[in-house]
């Protein structure tokens, strides 16, 4: 099952740069020296939907340099550091969409944050880590270039077609199955379970969360992001037949129909997630308020929506958040 939120909208070449902030790895070693910049990755892995092409936006002011030596590459593969999006550059905006997403980044800091940065910063990566990607589909949640040495990366997805559409070599192992089903072969195998914009498509969520805990080794971590049940786009999605929603996403946001999946948003609220994760340790649920991209086809609607979203964030109505970033330990 590929995610329903982050497919690319532009076909022109794009540059995406990542950097590694020096940080302590699993063995307590902090590498010295400047920040390392990994090679470019796909645009689809970085941007929130609906904004079309980005012009140049700087998210980090730190000094960086490209990877130049075998030592640099070894440090990257060993997992020394955390991944941060630096910038995305394209030649021109996409017609019919907001051509100035950087205006949002200036007026609303939450829109200046790299969309995947908080997710990547929570990944406990180390040499030899075993990772299960739930709903991996045609694009892994953790790009191959960012996995540490001897990482074993397993995809779990109910759709053989989606997995077959992934780039060659994306996964070390593939499991065809549903996360809500008992999968004894996966029990206790993983140091890290990841899921990006997939669990809102799963029902019942209670079974899925219980199974995720079973898949982890003692002390293992879950890092996931889901869409919120009471966000404006989720309410519209649930109120519309799936075929209508699919056509709307295609016409208004340029989404390919095969990338749009039925969403249930089961237990996808702050309070419900708290209850589901009550048996976990080190639970962190971060509400995120970034739904303006779904209204990028109309500047008037987008501005009206932003007034509402600003109010929701200011009043800390966490159950109304557009997305929830989850981090928890077994």
Q: How many domains does the chain have?
A: 1
135-177 pLDDT, tens digit per residue, is 999 999 998 888 999 999 999 999 999 999 999 999 999 999 9
CA separation for the pair 304, 228 (Å, rounded): 20
What's the pTM? 0.71
Does residue 177 form part of some domain?
A: yes
186-216 burial: b if 16+ Cβ within 10 Å, else e: beebbbbbbbbbbbbbbbebeebbebbbebb
The pLDDT value recorded for residue 37 is 36
Helix residue ranges, H only, 45-97: 70-77
61-81 pLDDT, tens digit per residue, is 333 444 445 554 555 455 443
Does residue 6 form part of some domain?
A: no
The pLDDT value recorded for residue 293 is 83
95-107 pLDDT, tens digit per residue, is 223 334 445 655 6
| Burial status of residue 118 (CB atoms within 10 A of its CB: 0-12, 13-18, 19 or more) | middle
Least confident stretch, 9-18, 24-33, 246-255: 9-18
The pLDDT value recorded for residue 280 is 97
- Tell which residue, 292, 230, 229, has the closest CA to residue 263: 229
Please state, for a pLDDT cut of 70, what percent of the chain lies above it.
Answer: 62
Q: How confident is the model at residue 185 (pLDDT cuts 50, 70, 90)?
A: very high
What is the torsional sign of CA 58, 109, 283, 322? negative
The pLDDT value recorded for residue 47 is 35
Q: Taking 50 as the threshold, does the pLDDT of residue 19 lie above it?
A: no
Q: How confident is the model at residue 297 (pLDDT cuts 50, 70, 90)?
A: confident
Does residue 8 form part of some domain?
A: no
Rounded to an integer, what is the distance from CA 231 to the centroid of its chain? Answer: 17
Please indicate whether residue 296 or residue 192 has the higher confidence score (pLDDT).
192
Q: Which domain holds residue 170?
A: 15-329
Q: How confident is the model at residue 305 (pLDDT cuts 50, 70, 90)?
A: very high
What is the torsional sign of CA 266, 269, 275, 280? positive
Does residue 102 form part of some domain?
A: yes
Q: How confident is the model at residue 6 (pLDDT cuts 50, 70, 90)?
A: very low
The pLDDT value recorded for residue 26 is 42
Does residue 7 form part of some domain?
A: no
- 11-25, 55-69, 85-99, 194-208: which has the highest mean pLDDT? 194-208
- 225-239, 260-274, 312-326: which has the highest mean pLDDT? 312-326
- Give the CA count within 13 Å in the CB-facing half-sphere of 92: 3
Does residue 3 form part of some domain?
A: no
Q: Taking 80 as the threshold, does the pLDDT of residue 44 lie above it?
A: no
Tokens of 74: 């070894």
Does residue 1 form part of some domain?
A: no
The pLDDT value recorded for residue 188 is 97
Three-state secondary structure call for residue 241: coil
Does residue 2 form part of some domain?
A: no
Q: Which residue has the tokens 């910049």?
A: 37
**Nearest-5° angle of CA 196, CA 199, CA 204?**
170
Give the CATH number of the domain where residue 133 resides.
3.40.50.150
Q: How confident is the model at residue 249 (pLDDT cuts 50, 70, 90)?
A: low
- What's the whole-number mean pLDDT along residues 325-330? 97
Please state, for a pLDDT cut of 90, what percent of the chain lies above it.
Answer: 48
Q: Taking 90 as the threshold, does the pLDDT of residue 38 lie above it?
A: no
């Amino acid at each position: 099952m590929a995610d329903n939120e982050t497919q690319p909208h532009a076909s022109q070449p794009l540059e995406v740069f990542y950097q590694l902030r020096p940080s302590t790895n699993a063995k307590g070693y902090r590498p010295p020296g400047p920040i390392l910049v990994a090679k470019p990755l796909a645009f689809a892995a970085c941007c929130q939907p609906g904004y079309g092409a980005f012009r140049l936006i700087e998210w980090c002011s730190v000094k960086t340099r490209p990877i130049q030596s075998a030592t640099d590459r070894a440090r990257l593969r060993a997992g020394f550091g955390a991944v941060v999006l630096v910038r995305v550059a394209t030649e021109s905006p996409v017609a019919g969409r907001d051509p100035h997403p950087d205006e949002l980044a200036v007026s609303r800091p939450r829109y200046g944050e790299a969309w995947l940065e908080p997710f990547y910063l929570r990944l406990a990566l180390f040499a030899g880590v075993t990772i299960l990607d739930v709903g991996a589909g045609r694009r892994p949640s953790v790009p191959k270039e960012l996995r540490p040495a001897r990482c074993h990366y397993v995809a779990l997805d109910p759709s053989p077609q989606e997995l077959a559409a992934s780039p060659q070599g994306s996964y070390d192992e593939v499991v065809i199955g549903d996360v809500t089903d008992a999968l004894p072969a996966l029990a206790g195998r993983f140091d890290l379970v990841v899921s990006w914009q997939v669990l809102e498509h799963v029902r019942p969520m209670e079974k899925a969360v219980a199974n995720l805990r079973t898949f982890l080794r003692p002390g293992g971590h879950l890092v996931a992001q889901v869409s919120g049940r009471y966000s404006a786009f989720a309410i519209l999605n649930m109120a519309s037949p799936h075929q209508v929603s699919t056509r709307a996403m295609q016409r208004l946001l340029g989404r390919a129909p095969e990338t749009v999946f039925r969403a249930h948003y089961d237990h996808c609220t702050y309070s419900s997630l708290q209850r589901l994760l009550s048996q976990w340790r080190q639970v962190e649920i971060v509400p995120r308020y970034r739904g303006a991209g779904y209204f990028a086809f109309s500047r008037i609607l987008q501005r009206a929506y932003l007034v509402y979203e600003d109010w929701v964030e200011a009043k800390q109505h966490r159950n109304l958040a557009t997305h929830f970033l989850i981090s928890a330990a077994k």
